[in-house]
Amino acid sequence: MGETWNKKERQKKKDKEKKEKAEKMRERKENPSKSKSLDDMMAYVDENGNISATPPDPKKRKEIKLEDIEIGVPEYVHSEEDQFRTGKITFFNHEKGFGFIKDLVSQESIFVHINNLPGPVNENDKVIFEVEKGPRGLSAVNVKMGE
């Protein structure tokens, strides 16, 4: 069986792309000035964690004792102040029974379900609440109406 017109066109296209690729490769070999040297690609991190093109000044280097480096997670002290947060209800869907509270301190948006509310609420109501880790993220519980 002979080649169809489609097969011929596909083969022409492949050949054309191969030629273009070979041409680009040949140009890159002839003109290596476009590629960067290792020094041009090098980036440095300063003492504040910012990326810069110049190496840090060795005179500004600070010595740190090995004993001062703390490895591990520091002990978390659970305090009563951390439990209650204040926020404002930014969205509430009365039909579906859920909404979101924006924490006034951290500006986090926290999910709240109608079962955790003391009564009917409206958007922009100030509330006091506790945060609990739910299956889909943070969730507000023990919600009380604020001032």
Rounded CA separation 107/115 (Å): 23
- 62-103 residue pLDDT tens: 888 888 888 887 776 665 555 788 999 999 998 998 999 998
C-alpha to C-alpha distances, 122 to 18, 20, 118, nearest whole angstrom: 65, 64, 12
pLDDT given for residue 104 in this prediction: 87
Q: Residue 108 — very low, low, confident or very high, per pLDDT cuts 50/70/90?
A: confident
pLDDT given for residue 78 in this prediction: 60
pLDDT given for residue 28 in this prediction: 84
What single DSSP character describes residue 104?
T
Rounded CA separation 120/118 (Å): 7
* Share of residues in the chain with pLDDT > 90 (%): 29
Query: For 30-58, what is the mean pLDDT?
Result: 80
Q: Name the CATH superfamily, with its identifier, for domain 80-145.
A: Nucleic acid-binding proteins (2.40.50.140)
C-alpha to C-alpha distances, 4 to 7, 8, 18, 38, nearest whole angstrom: 5, 6, 21, 50
Mean pLDDT value across the chain: 85
Query: For 129-144, what is the mean pLDDT?
Result: 88
List, by residue range, all CATH 2.40.50.140 domains of the chain.
Answer: 80-145
